Amino acid sequence: MSFYKKRAFRPRTGFFKFTCCTGCGFELAYFQKSLEETLRSFDFTFFRLASSAGSPEGPFDLALVEGAVTEPFQIIELKKIREKSKVLYAVGSCAIVGGIPAIKALSPEIEIERAAYKERFFGLSSTRPNVIDDYVKVDGHIRGCPPGERDLEEALASVLLGKKPEFIEYSVCMECKRGGNACVLVEEGLPCMGPVTNAGCGALCPAHHRACYSCFGLMGQANVPALKGKFRKLGFSEEDIERFFTLFGALEPSSTLI
């Protein structure tokens, strides 16, 4: 089985999903037109979203894993994926910082379950998001919700070239300034999370006069106290500020993301 057109040598690749909206898979399979040529270099032997054929058994040269870990059986599955894969990338904010499923770590989880599903949903109890890194060694993080094209291309090209990927490791503000956008935090007093958010989206929201809400997750060594102080000066309540910083996961920026 193969989703993409055949080439002479292509790394055997599996795309795996845990708890999430599947948006990262959609992005890769259907919306990254500029990546089509790169994707043809991979043999997607397991990609349930793209084809019901194929097997998750492996072995794989590359495993792409989206979604957070919220159920005990997922830990076992994830470890098996790691064992049979040479390279494993976590894909998207759910897998890397908890994303939307991280709400279970912010409120008594039973309340979340009852409000949303009227039944038990999250089997894995925790006071923090359960991300892929908690359970297996990860070779790289393709950030975003869904991921940006630049890091996706870097991750895939690195597998083809047999090199370590170099992901973006600076804030959205850098991209925003490069794009010549007016600062919505300074000029309009909007609660922009750009100063603490990992770049990769091209400062999409500020470019459209919207505040960044940190869907790429906090970057390493983010100055969280400084931005919280700025938000307080702008008149935002502690409750608002907490919400801004936990919308896409509740991990501290000191978490060991590479």
Site of interaction with ligand SF4 (CB under 6 A): 20-24, 66-67, 92-94, 99-100, 145-146, 172-173, 176-177, 181, 183-185, 192, 194-195, 197, 201, 203-206, 212-216
Beta bridge partners of 43: 12
Q: Which residue is nearest to ligand SF4 (CB)?
A: 194
Give 132 or 204: the residue with its C-beta nearer to ligand SF4. 204
Residue 235's alpha-carbon distances to 109, 128, 231, 238, in angstroms, are 30, 28, 7, 9
Give 93 or 158: the residue with its C-beta nearer to ligand SF4. 93
Give 43 or 247: the residue with its C-beta nearer to ligand SF4. 247
Minimum distance between the CB of residue 163 and ligand SF4, rounded to whole angstroms?
Answer: 25
Give 24 or 29: the residue with its C-beta nearer to ligand SF4. 24
- Write the burial class of residue 65 (CB in 10 Å: 0-12 exposed, 13-18 middle, 19+ buried): buried
Minimum distance between the CB of residue 207 and ligand SF4, rounded to whole angstroms?
Answer: 8
Give 10 or 95: the residue with its C-beta nearer to ligand SF4. 95
- Residue 42 identity (one-letter amino acid): F
Minimum distance between the CB of residue 198 and ligand SF4, rounded to whole angstroms?
Answer: 7
Minimum distance between the CB of residue 209 and ligand SF4, rounded to whole angstroms?
Answer: 9
Minimum distance between the CB of residue 164 and ligand SF4, rounded to whole angstroms?
Answer: 23
Minimum distance between the CB of residue 109 and ligand SF4, rounded to whole angstroms?
Answer: 18
Q: How far apart are CA 238 and CA 254, in angstroms?
A: 21
Give 11 or 146: the residue with its C-beta nearer to ligand SF4. 146
Strand order in the sheet with 85-91: 43-47, 12-17, 60-66, 85-91, 140-142
Minimum distance between the CB of residue 160 and ligand SF4, rounded to whole angstroms?
Answer: 23
HSE-CB of 97 using CA atoms within 13 angstroms: 32
Give 160 or 211: the residue with its C-beta nearer to ligand SF4. 211
